[in-house]
Amino acid sequence: MFCDEGIGAYALRYIEKNYEIPKNLTLVEGSSLGFSMMTYYHEYDKIIVLGTGSDEGEAGLIKCEDADAILSKGPVRKTANEVEITMMIEICSFHENMGEVTLVTMVPDDIVSVRNGLTKTTLANMPDFVQKVLEVLKAEGFELQQKENLCSFEEIIEEFANPKQTFDPQMLKS
């Protein structure tokens, strides 16, 4: 990941770890799915995308926009996240069954450094970002309940940086 480009992935994992997820709510970490995300745009009535945004403003600025607002900004995109999401919306909008897309974005501080983690500015704004996501979910009828033992953003970032792999002896057999 390019530092703050991980905003959406970290927020999603934070919500998964710290909140009870209703059975009728599907959470998908789609940053590496590319065009495979197209299926979700067609199969679901409502899609909420979390990620970086390049709107003018200070790092940490959080916005919530619909697909039309994103498309109306024209062809200039500053983050890899925006390029991919915008392309998906443009392609899927030709299909009559595209779900209603809402984007919750934060202006990143650093999307150039190739490293796991978030800048101090972005990390400090992550609780507000998650709160905005929870508000959007609540407006859609999903009021998530917080779990007892909370996981921190630092733990989430560490988990992404050093995923635990389980050894499967069957992999040695060929």
Band (99; pLDDT cuts 50, 70, 90): confident
Q: Residue 77: CB partners within 8 Å, gap ≥ 6?
A: 54, 83, 86
Q: How many domains does the chain have?
A: 1
75 is written with which tokens? 């062809």
Measured distance CA(25)–CA(16) in Å, rounded: 11
List the domain range (segments joined by +) for residue 156.
Answer: 3-172
CATH number for 107 = 3.40.50.1450
Q: What is the pLDDT of residue 33?
A: 66
Tens digits of residue pLDDT in 2-47: 788 889 999 999 999 999 999 999 998 876 666 777 888 889 999 9
The total of other beta-carbon atoms located within 10 Å of residue 143's CB is 11
For residue range 71-93, list pLDDT tens digits in order. 787 666 666 666 777 777 777 77
| Cβ–Cβ < 8 Å for 21, 137 | no
Confidence at residue 46, expressed as pLDDT on a 0 to 100 scale: 92
pTM value is: 0.85
